[in-house]
Amino acid sequence: MSYRIDPDLEFISKASNDDLLLLADALMYKDAKHREKKSPRGTATLYLDDKFEANYPHNMTALWQPIAEELQKFGGHSGVNWIFRRNKGVLYREILIDVCKRQKVKNVNYKADDISSIENAFLQKTVELAIEKMSESDRRELIDGLRNVEALGDQLKKAVISKEGLLNLVQLAFKQGGFKSYILTLQVVNGISKAVLGRGLSLGANAALMKYIGSFMSGPWGWAFAAVTTVWDIMGPNRDASLKGVAIVSYMRKKMELGL
C-alpha cells in the first residue's frame, strides 16, 4: 500500500459505511451501469487491494486508507509525474486546488485559505454551474423546493427569485456555512450517488436533518448535476474521479463538522 499520510483525509476513518462506499464506488466506477457490470475504470486499483474482497461493501472502515490512496493516485495520475512519484499519489490539498483551477473557481487564496474554505468555493462553483444549465421551469421548481427548507428561513418563502437571485442565494449560503451550505452540498452528492449507485442518498433515518431539508431532495437538481458531471467526464476518467472524490470528501467533512 502506498497511502501518503494526509491530515486533510485522516478524518474519513470515522465516516459512515455508506459514505465510504459511495466514495469508493465513485472512484472505481464511471457510473451505475459500469458498477452493475463490475467494470472499474482502467486506472482504478482499489479493488485489487488485499483487504478489498473481505470487507467490500459491508465493512468499508477497514478500507479507508486504500480508498484515500485511490483518491491520491487519481489526483496525481499525470504521465511523467506519475512515474517520478513511483506509483504514489498527491496530497488532498493539491488535488482540491487542481480541481478548483480546472473549474475556474474564483476568490480563493490557495496558500492561505483553510481546506474547508477551498472546498466551499469548489462546491459553490459546482452548484452555480448546475443552475446555469437548468431550464427556466427547472429553476422555478428548484426555488419551490428551496422554500420548503426550514434552514433557509422565512424570507425566502416570500421572495420572488430570478436566476441571478438564485445564484446570489447560493453564494450567501456558502458564505454563511452551516446547514445553509450543507443542504446545497447534499444536492451535489445526491447527484453523484444517483449517477454512481443508481439511487439517491438515504437520509430517512435522520429525522433532525429531514426537518431542515423538507422535500428538497427531489426535483430537477439531478438532471442539472448530470449535465455538470458530463463536463467532468469530458476532462478524462482521472479528472472525473478526482472531481467526484473531492465533492464527496467535502460533503463528508461538512457532515462531520455538523455532527450528523
Give the pLDDT confidence of 219-240 residue by residue, as tens digits. 655 556 665 666 565 566 688 8
- Residue at 18 is within a domain: yes
Query: CB neighbours of 143 closer than 8 A, spacing ≥ 6?
Result: 161, 166
57 three-class SS: coil
Model pTM score: 0.89
Per-residue pLDDT reduced to its tens digit, 83-117: 445 567 899 999 999 999 988 998 899 999 999 99
Count other C-beta atoms under 10 Å from residue 7's C-beta. 10
113 within a domain of the structure (yes/no): yes
Q: Is residue 4 part of a domain?
A: no
Q: Are 113 and 8 in contact (CB under 8 A)?
A: no
* For the chain, percent of residues with pLDDT exceeding 90: 45
Rounded to whole angstroms, what are the CA distances from 229 to 154, 155, 191, 192?
Answer: 32, 32, 9, 8
Report the chain's mean pLDDT, rounded to a whole number: 83
* Residue 5 DSSP label: P
Residue 127: which domain range?
10-257
pLDDT of residue 198: 87
Buried/exposed code over 100-138 (b: 16+ C-beta within 10 A; e: otherwise): beebebeebeeeeeebeebbbbbbbbbbbbbbebbeeeb
Q: Is residue 89 part of a domain?
A: yes
With a cut of 90, say whether residue 63 has pLDDT above it.
Answer: yes
**pLDDT given for residue 123 in this prediction:** 93
Kindly tell me if the per-residue pLDDT of 217 is higher than 80. Answer: no
Domain contains 41: yes
Instruction: Express as a percent the part of the chain with pLDDT over 70.
Output: 76
- The pLDDT value given to residue 169: 83
Could you tell me which residue, 8 or 185, shows the higher pLDDT? 8
Can you tell me which residue has the cell 511523467? 80
1 is a domain residue: no
Q: Is residue 124 part of a domain?
A: yes
d(CA 220, CA 243): 21
The most distant pair of C-alpha atoms in the chain lies apart, rounded to whole Å, by 58
Per residue in 168-209, pLDDT tens? 888 988 988 888 888 888 888 888 888 888 888 877 556 666
Q: For residue 154, what pLDDT band results from cuts at 50, 70 and 90?
A: low
pLDDT (0 to 100) of residue 130: 83
DSSP line for 185-241: HHHHHHHHHHHHHSS----TT-HHHHHHHTTTTSSTHHHHHHHHHHHHHHT-HHHHH
- CA-wise closest residue to 217 among 193, 233, 243, 197: 193
Domain count for the chain: 1
In this predicted structure, the answer to whether residue 144 has a pLDDT above a threshold of 60 is yes
Please say if the pLDDT value at position 157 is more than 80: no
Q: Which element (helix H / strand E) includes 52?
A: helix 52-55
Does residue 173 form part of some domain? yes
